Amino acid sequence: MQILENTKKKIFIVEDEELFANLLKDFLERKTPHEVCLFHTGEECLQHMHLKPDVIILDYYLDSKEKDAADGLEILRKMRGMGSKAHIIILSGQSGFGVAMQSRFDGAQHYVIKNDQAFERIELLINQN
């Protein structure tokens, strides 16, 4: 993975929980110099992949109102199938080892559990890449 130190990065957040998504977006905009784009569905994000994000924070469980909407791992596989080289961080409320391993197997670099340290952990991961 190419190191992008001191470079403004394009960050995509894909999160269906509106309050959590807005809080994370606000946090990253305050704490980092990067451009942050927010999407509430995986399909909406996929339509913007031509913008070549550097980092994608992708919710593991996307609870869309749309019938047959894709979950986070399905969206992850589609992103990788499109040739995306973005650094992908899966974000989930699930702490199971199997879920984290499946995320890594499908192409995510990191798995972050939604807890009171999640925002700081995400900021650290973004700044390391």
Please answer whether residues 127 and 2 qualify as being in contact, where contact means their C-beta atoms are separated by less than 8 angstroms: no
What distance in Å separates the CA atoms of residue 14 and residue 46, rounded to the nearest whole number?
10
Largest interatomic CA distance in the chain: 42
Q: What is the 3-state secondary structure (H, E, C) of 39-101?
A: ECCHHHHHCCHHHCCCEEEEECCCCCCCCCCCCHHHHHHHHHHCCCCCEEEEEECCCCHHHHH
C-alpha 57/C-alpha 41 separation (Å) is: 12
**Ordered per-residue pLDDT tens for the chain, 129 residues:** 444 455 789 999 999 999 999 999 999 999 999 999 999 999 999 999 999 999 999 999 886 555 445 688 899 999 999 999 999 999 988 777 877 888 888 889 999 999 999 999 999 999 887
pTM listed for this prediction? 0.87
Residue 4 is predicted with a pLDDT of 44
Instruction: Return the pLDDT at 67.
Output: 47
Report the first-to-last Cα separation within the chain, whole angstroms. Answer: 8
Length of the chain: 129
Q: Which CATH superfamily is domain 10-128 in?
A: Response regulator (3.40.50.2300)
